Amino acid sequence: MPEQQPPDPAGVERALARRYYCPSCGNAALESRDNKLYGCSECGHTYFHNTAVAVSAVIEHAGAVAWITRARDPGAGLLDLPGGFVERDESLEEALVRETWEEVGFAPEAPQYLFSIPNRYLFHGVRYSTVDVFFGCRASQRAVFLPNDEATALEWLAPSAVDPSRIAFESTRLALARLLRR
């Protein structure tokens, strides 16, 4: 498992302290006011750098859960649950279906909210704050999986058979622990 780096809020601060263009007036005048609030010194526009939202599908069939092997960094080669980031104007449920379809080639059945867990997502040297929303789902059968640009493999594993050190993200390791307690 790749070594997890400690959260670096200063890294995001340094990145955003560079000159960024205001989305309102277009001037290179967006300045940091605190850890998520930025303001334009030209027009006064306020920009909030908020937490991103991601969804994960805990797809169960015959006592096993669907786990993908990530094709890309962060966490290439490690296990993850199917899912990904929610896009603009998309509900959590729509994102869950879209992301699951993209990664494993089938839509989850009967998604039900389970819980959410805050996470830090390191991407190209920048650590983003996310909240990962987990949904319990079913699969009526184990569909044929085709490797793709997001997932190289699909494994159906009982939660007790998953080695947490093989999981890409801390939030998913915590989700596995919750699944094992139920």
In terms of pTM, does the model score above 0.85? no
Positions of CATH 2.20.25.30 in the chain: 9-48
How many residues comprise the chain? 182
pLDDT surpassing 90 at residue 19: no
pLDDT-derived band at 18 (thresholds 50, 70, 90) equals low
pLDDT surpassing 70 at residue 126: yes
* Average model confidence (pLDDT) across the chain: 89
Residues 105-126 have a mean pLDDT of 91
CATH superfamily of 52-181: Nucleoside Triphosphate Pyrophosphohydrolase (3.90.79.10)
pLDDT-derived band at 84 (thresholds 50, 70, 90) equals very high
Residue 81 near residue 175, CB atoms below 8 Å: yes
pLDDT, one tens digit per residue, over 137-159 is 999 989 889 999 999 999 999 99
pLDDT of residue 125: 78
pLDDT, one tens digit per residue, over 27-79 is 888 888 887 788 999 999 998 888 999 999 999 999 999 999 999 999 999 99
User: Radius of gyration over alpha carbons of the chain, in Å?
Assistant: 19
pLDDT of residue 50: 86
Residue 71 near residue 80, CB atoms below 8 Å: no
Residues 99-121 have a mean pLDDT of 95
Positions of CATH 3.90.79.10 in the chain: 52-181
Residue 143 near residue 154, CB atoms below 8 Å: no
CA distance 157 to 84: 20
The correct answer on CATH 3.40.50.1220 for the domain covering 9-48 is: no
